[in-house]
Chain A
Amino acid sequence: MPQTDITSLKPLFVVETPPYIHNGVTIHGMMRDTLLALAPAMILALMAHGVAAFRVMALAAGVSVLVEAMCVRIAGQKLRIEDGTALISGLLLAFMLPVQAPWWLVTVGAALSMILGKHVFGGLGANPLCTPLVGWACLSISWPKYMNPSAMVLNTDFLDPLLRLKFFGTQSISPETYKALLMGEQLGGLGSVYIGALLLGGIFLVARRAVRWEIPVAYLLTVYALGFLLWHIDPARYIAPELYLLTGSTVFAAFFLATDHPSSPFSIWGIALFGVLAGAMTVLIRAYGTHLDGAPFAILLANLFTPLLDMIRPVPWGGRK
């Protein structure tokens, strides 16, 4: 055995509390995965709309990051831009805006998302509502005309399927067009119309454990089941259940908005109920409400139930005392 003078060695070690191994899923990694999951829809949007789509996405993401940096500085918190949460929030908001949205609309939406949706509550992890949805809700209530894709996007042959279903009868979309709808050949949010691409990205996200699978599954199942029930009662009055998924931002909301960690519950029953609640709201708003797309408001409403649902807790080892 070699003789070692143990006093002469003085390297500096990293001293942490246990555990000393980690499963590798980090916030940064989650956001990188979310970006990858959004990529197919982003590419399709860029292919369809070119620089117009790029303009909205870049502006929303850029403003989000800047406003976050500003808020963090005012609040005297640690700057965590590199974790990517602001960038993703901005992109998620952009996905719900019409591609021809004016620059000021995008800027105001992104800034409001960050300020009202995240930083007034304390920043990362403290938002009671899904951050991009707060901005979206402010915009669609304040400037409904600018948020309406049928009014904003003029150079297109597509029709807004939500509008059609609402005002031109429940049979106005035939099953032959489902494939086109899946591929995003419809009018709606900049990125949220690419149902197929988003579904692919969502499955990737679940497989990478960046989001909990229970939320999208509970949500989509409820939407389909309740949609089926209504359609079964009166097919002339209610749309076919698959149209809830193929039009509007239902799939986008299921994988990217409802799964927002801070604003969704954490226990298994809480999550299941959250999904059911959001799903039921989506169908009810679309069937009876004045808003064409049910998903965003449904998620916001379900977010409000999160503190209540978080009161459901597992019985600790050895029972309650």
Chain B
Amino acid sequence: MKLPFILTVPDKRPLEELHGITTLLVPLRGHTPAPGIKKRVAVAANTLLAVHPDMSLGEIHAPCHGVIKDITTRHIEITCSETPPEGSQPVAPVDLSGLDEQALCSALKELGVSVRPFTRPCKTFVINGLNPEPGMVYAEEVLSSHKEILEAALALVKRLSPATEYVLALPAGSHSSLDGVRNHFVKPEYPISLARPLIKSLTGKESSADITMVRLHDLFGLGLVASSGLPRTRTVLSVQGRNFLVPVGTPVQTLLDAALVSVKPGDTVVLGGAMRGQALSVLRRGIDKDSEALLHIPAKSKPPLEDNPCINCGACIYACPMRLRPNMLSRYAEFEQYEGCTKEYLNRCIECGLCGYVCPACRPMQQYFRNAKKALGIETLQRRLPL
């Protein structure tokens, strides 16, 4: 059971960049196109594309020069070009120094950064330096070879966060460090990389009060903005054990081609990790700012999910890091007895996926939990809590 959950890789895997990308599908998350952004409009790299009224969601910018080919509710499609097309306005870097906290927040939002995790009230600010899930391998590389980007981000975080103490969670044996940040070593075994188990290992207490945890991925994204003054248009992600630093909106198909993965009908393509990611139905989809991994799961490499009844074996109870009873939870959810889910502490579930990993009946545990959470309105609550 331990083997697939080791969160470190022994070798270094550099961030590769892709060249010659022809099309970008920049995803929108409820954003509306910015004024002047229409089909067939030429845009320079870093031009503002879409805005969102929510202060906690960053705006969206063009990751490359090009012409807008299509705008849907889900994405803006850009045909890329090497040089700025005619009629486009170049974008100058923003100077972030000397801004007060309020001004910095809005400047960062305008640069495409979701600032909420960095401004949350807390005493201890934890940087999760572990690869969050099996299938992600970027943490070691980012920590060792791109330290200056992280430290640029950290300088901004120290202006934003009320925290008095900064902690970097690292796999045991790691030699990475950041200036002014205390190291905390953990055994790198999933699910320690998730917020609640990590906070427990740090404080010894089962409460996330006064603690904020951000993923290394988010800190790196902030660092890209902080070090250049340009909008957040690139992201780092692991594709089948290789790391890429690519523009936001890079189509999944392009990344799979770059990683030399050929996908056959019946396979599963997962955006995100093997335990918590999202299976894609089409490859014509751009990666988002928070995409951390892209995985190809060949057909028949795992038993398919079925609507089997729970056989009460108790394997999930042993696996659950939150000490819940996923067997009872999933049964209540299956038969829509949602008040039972509340009694079984559904709100503590962090959707780590371990119950589904061990379930011999191959029940769609996460699906049951998500249905119940949606019915109970827990989903919106949890988005605000550090999971």
- Seen from chain A, the residues whose Cβ lies within 8 Å of a Cβ on chain B are 1-4, 6-7, 9-27, 29-30, 78, 80, 122-126, 212, 261-262, 264-268, 271, 313-319, 321
> Could you tell me if B23 and A6 are in contact, using CB atoms closer than 8 angstroms?
yes
Cα of A321 to Cα of B346 in the assembled complex, Å: 12
* B54-62, B166-174, B230-238, B351-359: which lies at the interface: B351-359
CB distance from B131 to the nearest CB of A (A): 15
B18 to chain A, nearest CB (A): 7
A318-B348 contact in complex given A12-B265, A124-B309, C-beta closer than 8 Å: yes
Q: Is the CB of B267 within 8 A of A1?
A: no
Contacts A11-B267, A318-B206 known; list 10 others, CB within 8 Å. A13-B282, A15-B279, A15-B280, A19-B353, A21-B274, A21-B302, A22-B302, A80-B308, A212-B314, A316-B324
Asked whether any CB of chain A lies closer than 8 Å to the CB of B224, the reply is no
Q: Chain B: how many interface residues by the 8 Å CB criterion? A: 81
Known: A6-B284, A17-B364, A18-B353. A12 touches B266 (CB 8 A): yes
Q: Is the interface of A mostly helix, strand, loop or mixed?
A: loop
For the complex formed, measure the closest distance between the CB of A31 and the CB atoms of chain B, giving whole angstroms: 10
Query: What CA separation (Å) do A4 and B21 show in the bound complex?
Result: 10
A15, A18, A321 — most chain B CB neighbours (10 Å)? A18
Give the residues in chain B near A12, CB-CB below 8 Å. 265-266
- Of chain B, the residue at the smallest CB distance from A214 is B314
Complex Cα distance, B269 from A11, in Å, reads 11
A27 touches B361 (CB 8 A): yes
Given contacts A20-B279, A20-B302, A316-B323, contact A14 B254 (CB under 8 A): no
Q: What's the least CB distance linking B349 to chain A, in Å?
A: 9
Give the complex CA separation of A268 and B22 in angstroms: 57
Report the Cα distance A126→B310, complex, angstroms. Answer: 8
Give chain A nearest CB distance to B244 CB in angstroms: 12
Any chain A CB within 8 A of the CB of B178?
Answer: no
Contact status B360-A13, CB under 8 Å: no
**Given the contacts A14-B268, A25-B315, A6 and B283 also touching, CB distance less than 8 Å:** yes
Is the pair B253, A15 in contact by a Cβ cutoff of 8 Å?
Answer: no
Chain B residue at smallest Cβ distance from A209? B315
Contact A17 B302 (CB under 8 A): no
Known: A1-B19, A14-B266. A21 touches B275 (CB 8 A): yes
Please give the distance in Å from B149's CB to the nearest CB on chain A: 25
Residues of A within 8 A of B345 (CB): 316, 321
**A-binding residues in B (CB < 8 A):** 1, 4, 18-23, 134, 196, 200, 206-207, 251, 253-254, 257-258, 263-270, 272-284, 295, 297, 299, 301-305, 307-315, 317-318, 321-325, 327, 345, 348, 351, 353-354, 356-362, 364-367, 370
Q: Which A residue's beta carbon lies closest to that of B303?
A: A26
**Which of B270, B302, B348, B362 has the largest number of chain A CB atoms within 10 A?**
B302
B258 CB → nearest A CB, Å: 6
Within the complex, what minimum Cβ distance (angstroms) separates B158 from chain A? 29
B257 x A2 contact (CB < 8 A) = yes
* Alpha-carbon distance A57/B357, docked complex (angstroms): 35
Asked if B322 and A20 make an inter-chain contact with CB atoms under 8 angstroms apart, the answer reads no
A23 to B321, CA, bound (A): 17
18 contacts between A and B (CB under 8 A): A1-B258, A2-B257, A11-B263, A12-B265, A15-B280, A18-B277, A18-B351, A18-B353, A19-B353, A21-B301, A22-B303, A25-B358, A266-B314, A266-B317, A266-B327, A268-B318, A316-B323, A321-B345
- Which one of A21, A23, A122, A313 has the greatest number of beta carbons of chain B within 10 Å? A21
Given known A20-B295, A27-B360, A212-B314, contact A4–B254 (CB-CB < 8 A): yes
| B312 & A261 in contact (Cβ 8 Å cutoff) | yes
- Known contacts A4-B257, A124-B308; is A17 also within 8 Å of B303 by CB? no
Residue from B196, B253, B274 in contact with A6 in the complex, judged by beta carbons closer than 8 Å: B253
| Given contacts A316-B322, A318-B206, A23 and B1 within 8 Å (CB-CB) | yes
